[in-house]
Structure 1
Amino acid sequence: MPMAQSDVVVAVREIPNDMLQEILMKLPTKDVARCCCVSRQWRSALGDPSFRKLHAASHAALSAEPEFLRLSGVPCGIGQSVKTSVFSLSSDKPMCSIAKPEGYGLADICNGLLCFVDEHGAQAPALVCNPVTGETLELPAAPPLSNKDHAYFFAFGFSPPTNEYKLFRLSFPLCSYSSEEQRVNVDVYTLGDARGWRKDSFLSSSRPLTRGNDTSTPVLIDGKLHSNTKGWNAPMWQVAAGVLVVDVPTETCHAYPLPDDLGTYRYDNPLAFELKGQLCLAAHVLNSYNRPKALRFWVMATENKESDSEKEPHWELRYSFFVQVEPPIPIRWPWSCVSWSAWFQHETLFYTCNDTLYKYDTRSSVPDHGRLLQWDKQLQRIPPYEWLWFIHRGYRPTLVSPRIFELPPSQDETIMDVCS
């Protein structure tokens, strides 16, 4: 005999919280978030901070493919906050809207948390947001720069062994005239750590790139942040000289050189992204007329440890593609005027050039480094700015609330509250 609708509702309400949480632990993050609308009991069970933390570390959450987010900002008024809406590419309805101060931009996406920093203020407090829950937390202000003339940028990372989120601020001189001046200062803050910011520094053969374009955005892979670098006294037009690797758990930094025959044009920095758990660099090879003739994908591979030391990573050429820009670009145009991007998702390489999107199924053939491959399909034409400037990679939804990292009020603040 089939159950009446009222019986079904009663049965659902009688599910114990621990059993309900165990069942929902196996669902993807977005499905769990939708379940909060079922009833008050479900919302209460899924709002439990311990459940959120366990689900964020579950296989259902960690095995999810990285997604893409689109950010759209609308100023609320001159000198006021900016309302930024966060969209998933699969929906026209925003996941959430964030009110952030004017001048704040997205520094990084780490798992399911977005970190916004003041692009013109080295000490301004960063904002961390979870689009799924709509919660936002303001982090403690960074310490003053060791030198006010230094350039800087922020990077947001995650340490899998310790389950910690960390915000790094790297500052450095734009020029150096001695080996001792080739030093990068590192300020680190672990979210939720009452000790506050910590200072360190290291000598480097190259300096980080200043932020401002897609090629300088750090890429987080297996607890390591990767970012392009350039020579200390290199001209403004010179391309990247190496890759800076920041180990989030140990907070150590190392700069590694790029492949000798990378082949990129002097105005065209390589673009970094994750390919099957490894750092991949996409770089063009241009002909004598400064037009692209090929696109190469280099992968940073690591050696197994020998005795007590670990060998430096080395580069492997994984894919090479024939490239032809349509319509043809006049010879007088520099390649730097061309908008392009590349990424990897669902076993497929994607590449945009101007307003055309290409793709290649990596399962279709065994890589042959000696020949140029052809793209499987040319997809629809799209506005290039949507992919290059507004689309952000590496988002994995999570239920972790930024507010669990909120510091308790200091003793002075508690006394002021009591007196008031």
Structure 2
Amino acid sequence: MATTDLPQEILIDIFSRLPAKSVGKCRCLAKTWRTLLSTPQFIKSHLIRKPHQQNLILIAPSGSVHFAASAAVDGAVSRKLQSPENMIEVAGSCDGLVLLVDEDRKLLVNPITQQQIEITDSPLALTKRESFSMYGLGHDRINDDYKIVALSYWDTDNEHNPDCADTFVDVYSVTRGVWKRVDNSPYDHAVPHLSCGAFVSGAIHWLASSREEGYTSVIAAFDLAREVFDEMPAPSGVDLGKFVFWKLVVLEGCLCLVDAGRDRSDVWIMKEYGVGESWTKLSIEGGCVYDIIKPLCFDGDDEEIVLMTEGESLVVYNVKAKLFRDMVVDGVPAMFVDGGVFVDSLVSPALCEQVM
């Protein structure tokens, strides 16, 4: 029996087990395969069934973007993403899509397929260089839509700007290709260092402060389906007045709160989403010569964490041995301005073009 004689559901089952790059090659072998392997049904099946490895995406000082095929392998060979220069931040990652930003642009890319689109600014966006913005990317499972969320507020130290302490919330639907403004955030997001949102379990999370007396630190969670903010419970015993200055990241699908330092860094991991009692602490210690900025990914099998450092380099920490080693990614400059992790997938950033 020829492969083309097999039922479509059998073909989808077979091809969905292949790596994304292999599927791309198969698309070039036959017109019927290209049609089948480009359908939303197949892409969703591939995303669900394929055991995805974590890949690194790194921004060099020049603003060029590079990615390596594995986040936990020393000497991994990288490729340069064919994108505009001057990118400054990996602002979010979800299902193989990565949001890259600079002062003037936002790009949504799939590094594996090399597809990318530029996201236009919201028509309600605040004047650039007179305001602050932070971003997040995630998937709305209820409406099956990828969404970009932009939080922005005026630079109130500038006498020409309005005396406004509100944080505005704009939501971009990737499927529809449109922005809309929703209710302002009830929290104070004016932290000294702006950071991308951490996407877990249908919500994008940022560290912020309560607007009530005492300005308690909070973990603000923007629910992508309801488009409103909730609040996640913090770990018991942390300083509620200070953890707004920490980092919020995602490791192995779990929300993590990171108190990073030179001699020791504590990583709080929320093992069960939304359950305050499920926070567990992992300490990184052992004499690292660099200040740690943030962990990028965790390999549970080898008990190793890939970390980005203040020296704008990568190190790997072995939890069991409590030892560090430098990590080298071939084809990438030795220093980086930012980095992140994504999974290999076939999801297209141009979803709005597919449904029109």
TM-score interval (norm. to shorter): 0.7 to 0.9
> How big is each residue's C-alpha offset from its partner over 1:251-272, in whole Å with a ceiling of 9 and x where there is no partner?
11245575575479x8994333
Structure 1 residue 201 displacement after superposition: 1.0
> How big is each residue's C-alpha offset from its partner over 1:220-273, in whole Å with a ceiling of 9 and x where there is no partner?
1111212233588xxxxxxx9432222122111245575575479x89943333
The answer (yes or no) to whether the contact 2:235–2:276 under 8 Å persists in 1 is no
Counterpart of 2:269?
Answer: 299
What is the percentage of aligned positions where both structures have the same residue? 18
Counterpart of 2:160?
Answer: none
Structure 1 residue 24 displacement after superposition: 0.9
The AA in structure 2 aligned to 1:391 is G
Counterpart of 1:389?
Answer: 337
1:350 maps onto 2:305 in alignment: yes
1:157 maps onto 2:129 in alignment: no
When normalised by structure 2's length, the TM-score is 0.73
For structure 1, the residue ranges without an aligned partner over 5 or more in a row are: 1-9, 75-81, 233-239, 286-291, 305-311, 327-336, 365-373, 410-420
The answer (yes or no) to whether the contact 1:66–1:345 under 8 Å persists in 2 is no
> How big is each residue's C-alpha offset from its partner over 1:63-108, in whole Å with a ceiling of 9 and x where there is no partner?
424332234586xxxxxxx8645443465352x6333375675322
Q: Whose RCO is larger (CA < 8 A, sep 6+)?
A: 2
2: CA distance between counterparts of 1:210 and 1:102? 22
Counterpart of 1:187?
Answer: 170
The answer (yes or no) to whether the contact 2:217–2:243 under 8 Å persists in 1 is no
2: CA distance between counterparts of 1:25 and 1:197? 35
The AA in structure 2 aligned to 1:115 is L
Match of 1:201 among 170, 184, 187: 184
2: CA distance between counterparts of 1:19 and 1:303? 35
The AA in structure 1 aligned to 2:298 is Q
User: Please, which moves more after superposition, 180-189 or 11-20?
Assistant: 11-20
Counterpart of 1:274?
Answer: 250
Counterparts of residues 166-185 of structure 1 (less than 5 Å): 166-173=147-154, 182-185=165-168
1:398 maps onto 2:345 in alignment: yes
1: CA distance between counterparts of 2:247 and 2:277? 17
More helix by percentage: 1
The AA in structure 1 aligned to 2:202 is G
> How big is each residue's C-alpha offset from its partner over 1:126-179, in whole Å with a ceiling of 9 and x where there is no partner?
332222222222334312336774422222111223321001111124569xxx
Counterpart of 2:91?
Answer: 107
> How big is each residue's C-alpha offset from its partner over 1:271-302, in whole Å with a ceiling of 9 and x where there is no partner?
333345431122247xxxxxx55332223466
Counterparts of residues 87-106 of structure 1 (less than 5 Å): 87-89=68-70, 91-92=76-77, 94=79, 97-100=81-84, 105-106=89-90
Match of 1:141 among 112, 121, 126: 121
The AA in structure 1 aligned to 2:337 is W
Q: The residue matched to 1:406 in structure 2 has which SS?
A: helix
Distance verdict in 2 for CA 1:380–1:184, change over 3 Å? closer
Counterpart of 2:23?
Answer: 32
Q: The residue matched to 1:142 in structure 2 has which SS?
A: coil
Q: The residue matched to 1:47 in structure 2 has which SS?
A: coil
The AA in structure 2 aligned to 1:151 is F
1: CA distance between counterparts of 2:339 and 2:204? 19
Counterpart of 2:203?
Answer: 224
2: CA distance between counterparts of 1:300 and 1:137? 33
Structure 1 residue 203 displacement after superposition: 1.9
Counterparts of residues 250-329 of structure 1 (less than 5 Å): 250-255=226-231, 259=235, 261-262=237-238, 269-284=245-260, 292-300=262-270, 313=276, 316-326=279-289
1:68 maps onto 2:87 in alignment: no
1:59 maps onto 2:49 in alignment: yes
Match of 1:249 among 222, 225, 240: 225
CA RMSD in angstroms comes to: 4.3
> How big is each residue's C-alpha offset from its partner over 1:349-378, in whole Å with a ceiling of 9 and x where there is no partner?
4264667835345xx7xxxxxxxxx61x44
Rg: which structure is higher? Answer: 1
The answer (yes or no) to whether the contact 1:246–1:254 under 8 Å persists in 2 is yes
When normalised by structure 1's length, the TM-score is 0.64
Structure 1 residue 22 displacement after superposition: 3.0
The answer (yes or no) to whether the contact 2:138–2:202 under 8 Å persists in 1 is yes
2: CA distance between counterparts of 1:181 and 1:163? 35
